[in-house]
Amino acid sequence: MIRIDSVTKRYPDGTVAVDRLSLEIPDRSITVLVGPSGCGKTTTLRMINRMIEPSEGTILIDGVDIQKQPVNTLRRGMGYVIQNAGLFQHRTIVDNIATVPRLLGWSKDRARGRARELMTRVGLDASLASRYPYQLSGGQQQRVGVARALAADPPVLLMDEPFSAVDPIVRKGLQEELLRIQEELGKTIVFVTHDIDEAIRLGTMVAVMRTGGHLAQYAPPAELLSSPADAFVEDFLGADRGIRRLSFFTSAGLELTTAPVVALDTTARQLAAREAEIAEVAAPHLLVTDLDGKPLGWCAPEDFPGAEPGRLLSFGRPFEFGKDSLRAALDCAVLSPTGWAVAVDAEGRAVGVASQETIGEAIRAAHAERRKADVAG
């Protein structure tokens, strides 16, 4: 555990970057420091590896004051990932990654072997090993940055806006990769970002900081969204926090119906037999699937037998039942031309459909349950 104990950073000109900050960063989880520029989040991060020395207060790692050991020993025991990767442009990818192991006295072969192993781990092709940084894309460079930080297998990983200089698609890929790596390795990660969405996506705990180096709120992301501590946090979370909060509710409790789901080879007679059922759920359209059960599109009931797969109404994007959140389900319903969301299983076969009303009910139920849990807990 990293314990930041009433730490203040005051510069000679009187500027206070961090003001009496106390924070307990749990082991084997991602703790995100988020806030607008000038809130002291990067300063806080850099005080953990002593690139900036605090003016007051102490920082303890597993109960030991970080001032108690030589600064370079401390730093070699922490991975550091920076914006734009900060790779050594004059060294090959494999040697970039091998930097800290070499500093720790590993042999060249062992360090390079380890570096190659890490390249695979972060999703880099082995053929890139002897390339130079300029030959890689921004996203690949950032992966090298992550691999380099992990090279000596440090328990702590400090990440300073690592993904903010890449485009949104690459960023999403890198975030997913980080979550996957974290699941495998279980590092204690301190992650700095100004992007609240990134914070909520990655953080086990999120510390929202405000200008002047004050901690505004320190809570798990779901709690942050449901009960922001003050107007600043609420404002920082943005206008759609209600929608985003739905990311934390599973779609597993959603009541799906299979009544309007018909396979392409369903006959008029079979359809007629299900008419009452379909009328009961008040589905204005039928979801046509192929013989394998994969959704093809929506079709008006009167057109159904004989509908051409190419002329069906698009069903938009399906959500994976039980795995995706209610937010994804709602999004699918809103995007769907019929107003109904299509739920699929892991193989992409339709398992049912849900109307916006059904999803609305599920949301209300989830909120009620969460409130009950909050009262109880």
- Tell me which residues touch another protein (CB under 8 A): 49, 51, 71-76, 78, 80, 82-92, 99-100, 103, 132-135, 145, 148, 158
* Shortest distance, position 149 Cβ to another protein, whole Å: 8
Q: What angle do CA 289, 292, 296 make, to 5 degrees?
A: 25
| CB-nearer residue toward another protein: 35 or 154 | 154
Cite the DSSP H helix spans in the chain.
41-48, 71-76, 93-97, 99-103, 108-121, 138-150, 168-185, 196-202, 221-226, 231-237, 241-245, 268-273, 275-280, 326-335, 356-376
Q: What share of the chain is helix, strand, coil (3-state, %, to 5)?
A: 40, 25, 35
Strand partners, 191: 32, 159
Shortest spacing between CB 139 and another protein, in angstroms? 14
Work out how close the CB of 126 gets to another protein at its nearest, in angstroms, rounded to a whole number: 19
- The neighbouring-strand residues paired with 56 are 8
Q: What's the min distance (Å) between Cβ of 296 and another protein?
A: 46
User: Which CB sits closer to another protein, 134 or 276?
Assistant: 134
88 or 304: CB nearest another protein: 88
User: What minimum distance in Å lies between the beta carbon of 81 and another protein?
Assistant: 8
Closer of 2 and 78 to another protein (Cβ): 78
Instruction: Report the interhelical angle of 168-185 vs 138-150 (nearest 10°).
Output: 20
Cβ(25)–Cβ(2) below 8 Å:
yes
Q: How far apart are the first and last CA of the chain?
A: 25
7 or 81: CB nearest another protein: 81
Calculate Rg over the CA atoms of the chain.
Answer: 26
Minimum distance of another protein from residue 122's CB (angstroms): 16
User: One-letter amino acid identity for 354?
Assistant: A
Shorter beta-carbon distance to another protein: residue 49 or 217: 49
